[in-house]
Amino acid sequence: MVSNPLTDPEWADRSVDLIDRVVAKVRRYTTQPIVTTARGLVFGLLAAFGIIGVIVVLGIGITRGLQAALDAAMPRDAAVWASYFVLSGLCFLTGTLLMRKRFKSDEESGK
């Protein structure tokens, strides 16, 4: 039975509850996934920038530490160049090992 807003005292409460349920349902399916995605994107970018910053500072610290350690055994200019050669050799070896592990060759995979 259709209620009459003039004679039904619960009509306003039911109408507000209906509107509230509809708005909550629309929000659950539209706004909430967008907010979750935006938060993930923002926190992911913050984490990426933080990690990149830490890697840069760590690289600078390792370079300066190696230069200070080599400075005790050789002149300053030679220690700087030697530290560059040592670090580039380590980066080259790390890259080579990672590239070899990237794909298995046909002989190793049994094909």
Specify whether the CB–CB gap between 5 and 11 falls below 8 A.
yes
pLDDT of 63 higher than 90: yes
Specify whether the CB–CB gap between 71 and 64 falls below 8 A.
no
Rounded distance between C-alpha atoms, residue 16 and residue 9, angstroms: 13
- Nearest residue to 67 (alpha-carbon basis) of 89, 85, 92, 94: 85
- Nearest residue to 62 (alpha-carbon basis) of 94, 25, 96: 94
pLDDT of residue 27: 87
Mean pLDDT of 27-37: 90
pLDDT band at 111 (very low <50, low <70, confident <90, very high): low
pLDDT of 62 higher than 90: yes
- Taking the whole predicted model, whether its pTM rises above 0.75 is answered as no
pLDDT of 1 higher than 60: no
Q: Percentage of the chain with pLDDT > 90? A: 68
